[in-house]
């Protein structure tokens, strides 16, 4: 399963906050995630589940449930499994856990978050489960589990691995984790880095992060111009390998990349 249209930004809202549940749809994110997991204190889980159930009955939104196999997740799925636009599943470590969720929420696309060494090791099997529409890298938990340092380099393998297994499974490019640093250029740099590795989207925890993410994951004017030239040249050649005026080779994979860019741009 893949989303009907490319998603660049995913914005979280804690499920127990009526105020934020009302505002999250106004931030311009491509997709909204109502959180029943980490953002919700234990004593407010029931309240959050009730509020989120009311919202997804009226608005299109994804829901992050609690860890698969848990009693909390069982209750989450009973409440929202058939109403949510999709489910973000945290701490996924095996294909069996994905199947457990899919059995309780048939027909719902699942975005599976990889947050541990075990999850990373089994990412290909997780991506291959029919209900899986997307892999997400849970950067904070993965860094903690692996004992990594800061910067982009320590997670380079993990990110690239998720890009490869997603492509091999025929699902959407993976989603990057949230940026927790201070407001400034750091978010843009992180988003552009993830896109350069093949990621298709990024999660946000603050509304003001959404425009930056949307811009970072949208094709630039120069990319759109290039893509249009490639598609036109490939059509003129009848699908045979050809060259642009500047000498750039255009063949099937180049034309496919150009079409994907134009599909993103139409959003």
Which pair of tokens denotes residue 188? 């843009």
Residues 184 and 197 in one domain: yes
Distance CA 24, CA 83 (A): 18
Domain at 29, CATH number: 3.20.20.60
| 233 located within any domain | yes
Q: Are residues 228 and 190 in the same domain?
A: no
Q: Are residues 163 and 257 part of one domain?
A: no
Q: What is the pLDDT of residue 1?
A: 34
Whether 108 and 208 map to the same domain: the answer is yes
- Rg of the chain over Cα atoms, rounded to whole angstroms, equals 19
Shared domain check, 113 and 91: yes
| pLDDT value, residue 85 | 97
Among candidates 176, 82, 190, which has minimal Cα distance to 134?
A: 176
> Can you read off the two tokens belonging to residue 204?
């946000």
Q: How many helices (H) and strands (E) does the chain have?
A: 12, 10
Same domain, 117 and 210: yes
d(CA 250, CA 229): 10
Residue 91: DSSP 8-state: S
How many Å apart are CA 251 and CA 234, to the nearest integer?
A: 7
59 DSSP assignment: S
| Contact indicator for 80, 104 with CB cutoff of 8 Å | no
Domain match, 99 and 148 both: yes
On whether both 112 and 15 belong to a single domain, the answer is yes
Residues 122 and 226 in one domain: no
Report the chain's terminal Cα–Cα distance, integer Å: 19
Task: Compute, in degrees rounded to 10, the torsion defined by CA atoms 173, 66, 143, 13.
Answer: 70
CA–CA distance, 203 with 219 (Å, rounded to integer): 18
Domain that holds residue 123: 9-216
What is the predicted pLDDT for the residue at 4? 52
In a domain, 2, yes or no: no
Q: Is residue 238 part of a domain?
A: yes
- Does the residue 172 lie in any domain? yes
As a whole number of angstroms, the distance between CA 112 and CA 124 comes to 12
**φ and ψ of 147, to 5 deg:** 65, 40
Whether the model pTM is above 0.75: yes
Per-residue pLDDT of the chain (267 residues; tens, 9 = 90+): 344 567 999 999 999 999 999 899 999 999 999 999 999 999 999 999 999 999 999 999 999 999 999 999 999 999 999 999 999 999 999 999 999 999 999 999 999 999 999 999 999 999 999 999 999 999 999 999 999 998 899 999 999 999 999 999 999 999 999 999 887 899 999 999 999 999 999 999 999 999 999 999 987 777 788 888 888 888 989 989 899 888 888 888 888 878 877 877 776
pLDDT of residue 213: 96
In a domain, 4, yes or no: no
Residue 3 lies in a domain: no
Q: Are residues 228 and 197 in the same domain?
A: no
- Do 14 and 133 lie in a common domain? yes
Task: Give the total number of structural domains in the chain.
Answer: 2
Q: What is the pLDDT of residue 2?
A: 40
Does residue 57 contact residue 83 with C-beta atoms inside 8 Å? yes
């Amino acid at each position: 399963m893949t989303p009907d249209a490319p998603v660049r930004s995913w914005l979280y809202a804690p499920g127990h906050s009526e105020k934020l549940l009302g505002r999250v749809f106004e931030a311009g994110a491509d997709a909204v995630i109502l959180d029943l997991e980490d953002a919700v204190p234990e004593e407010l889980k029931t309240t959050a589940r009730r509020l989120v159930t009311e919202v997804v009955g009226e608005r299109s939104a994804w829901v992050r449930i609690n860890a698969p196999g848990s009693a909390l997740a069982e209750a989450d799925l009973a409440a929202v499994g058939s109403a949510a636009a999709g489910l973000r599943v945290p701490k996924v470590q095996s294909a069996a856990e994905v199947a457990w969720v899919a059995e309780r929420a048939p027909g719902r696309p699942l975005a599976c978050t990889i947050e541990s060494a075990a999850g990373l090791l089994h990412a290909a099997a997780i991506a291959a489960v029919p209900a899986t529409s997307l892999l997400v890298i849970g950067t904070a938990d993965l860094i903690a589990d692996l004992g990594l340092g800061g910067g982009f380099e320590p997670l380079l393998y993990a990110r690239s691995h998720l890009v490869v297994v997603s492509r091999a499974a025929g699902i959407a490019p993976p989603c990057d984790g949230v940026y927790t640093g201070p407001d400034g250029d750091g978010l843009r740099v992180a988003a552009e880095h993830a896109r350069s590795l093949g990621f298709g989207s990024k999660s946000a925890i603050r509304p003001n992060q959404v425009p930056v993410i949307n811009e970072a994951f949208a094709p630039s004017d120069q990319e759109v111009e290039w893509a249009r030239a490639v598609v036109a040249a490939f059509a003129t050649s009848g699908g045979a390998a050809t060259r642009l005026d500047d000498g750039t080779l255009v063949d099937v994979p180049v034309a496919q990349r150009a079409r994907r860019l134009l599909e993103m741009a139409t959003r």
